[in-house]
Amino acid sequence: MRVKFGVGLWAYDALASFRSNQIHKHLSAEETESMLPALPEGKITGGFLYYDCKTDDARLVMEVLVAAVRIGAVVANYSPVIGMESSAEGCEATVQDSLSGDIFRVRAKRAVVAGGVWADRIENLLRPEKEDRLRSSKGIHLLFSRADIPMSNAAALIPDAERERMLFVIPWLDSVLVGTTDTEYSGDIDAPAVDDGDRKYVLDALNSVFDLDLNDASIAGAYAGLRPLVKGKEGATADLSRRHAVYDVAPSVIGITGGKLTTWRRMAEDAVNRLAEELDASRGSRTEHIRLGTSDLAALNLALGRRAERLGIPDASVSSLVRSYGNRALSVLDVAEETGLTGPLVPGHPMLAAEAVYTAHSEMAIRLTDLLCRRTRLALTNREAGLGIGSRAAELMAAELDWGYAKTKIEVETHRAAVELERGLSLPLPATG
């Protein structure tokens, strides 16, 4: 087993062109246990240390959108495409504002369908007779408090021989992320959920590896996602390729699908270069020249630290701001200083109350679930999904967006229902006294 993993990690380092600061190395049992406090003593004989990256996919998407707007893009939220037409001269999409019901049309010389698991649905608007090109694979993750799974800054990739899977245990935000599964999915692509079998698999594997006694009540958050895999040979979705494909959908419309998060820039580059070639553009993709977040982390930390200290904002919140907003963290502190919202958005978590105001103004957060699911991730890391005692989320969004009591109640219940559906569990009831 040691030889097998060693060979695999040498290949991993080679594929990364040895660009990491350090290459992998073997660890003794004692070294492994010191890096993973949750492991029971004497259970393992050793491990390997290698280097990888982690991200917050929702925050990454937001940074991409912000960068796109800065260089001239127009972005629209809650605006699904409900119709498409195309010809050799160009294409037109019919788009509906799902909040107001208004319908408008967008014309262009070329369009790219980058719809992920929804790609077949969009392409069928142009070619209803075509065969679907995707198979969906469902993966789920559970999140736990760091008090329940003691972790250092090291993540763990643990072979679970009994279940013939790999178990990922990753310190993520202020929680521990555990997963993942890979099962074929044929349900509603708009609402994948964590089911009883998913939870049982992850909990059983986690308890077995770490000698824990975690159960459903221990889960702080959970989510399910779908991978758009390009159809190939028959068999399990776990065996399908994660490579992406750029292809013709209809005249003036191309599609891109497959791939994975770690290759998103390469995917974008391939699609843009294809468009540039078709339109005889003078240049292709510029993605290698576009930075996201910040270009000077040390200077940003210094500037934020000084202001945060003056405002009484803790270091954990400063780190959270840098991770979430990059250079724009300074703008969040502007809001905090102007409004006095320097305390937590939800007790026990580093996100600031000022983030509710900032995301409503600057990140198109117009629903409570936008703030809690896709801006701060409290729907994943907080057992009450951001709705517990002391939370200021609904109150601040209501004030910023001029919601009355009835609208605020609808937003709270809509968010609660969506989280419960995805987790497959009821949220804890508020404490009474």
Nearest to 9 by CA among 52, 54, 45, 55: 52
Of the pLDDT bands very low, low, confident and very high (cuts 50, 70, 90), residue 180 is confident
| pLDDT of res. 160 | 65
DSSP symbols for 55-85: --HHHHHHHHHHHHHHTT----SS--EEEEE
10 Å CB burial of residue 205 (0-12, 13-18, 19+) is buried
| Structure tokens belonging to residue 288 | 């290698």
Using one digit for the tens of pLDDT, what is the confidence trace for 40-66? 888 888 888 877 788 899 999 999 999
Please report the domains of the chain, with CATH numbers, ordered by start residue.
58-133+237-286 (3.50.50.60), 297-423 (1.10.8.870)
Check: CB of residue 345 under 8 Å from CB of residue 378. yes
Of the pLDDT bands very low, low, confident and very high (cuts 50, 70, 90), residue 363 is very high
3-class DSSP state of 236: coil
Rounded distance between C-alpha atoms, residue 432 and residue 389, angstroms = 10
Rounded distance between C-alpha atoms, residue 340 and residue 169, angstroms = 37
Of the pLDDT bands very low, low, confident and very high (cuts 50, 70, 90), residue 239 is very low
| pLDDT of res. 433 | 38
Of the pLDDT bands very low, low, confident and very high (cuts 50, 70, 90), residue 9 is low
Using one digit for the tens of pLDDT, what is the confidence trace for 190-215? 999 999 999 998 999 889 888 899 99
Residue 23 pLDDT exceeds 80: no
Residue 235 pLDDT exceeds 70: no
| pLDDT of res. 20 | 58
CA distances from 304 to 138, 291, 316, 362 (A): 39, 20, 12, 19
Using one digit for the tens of pLDDT, what is the confidence trace for 263-293? 899 999 999 999 999 999 999 999 999 999 9
Using one digit for the tens of pLDDT, what is the confidence trace for 325-339? 999 999 999 999 999
Q: What percent of the chain has pLDDT over 90?
A: 68
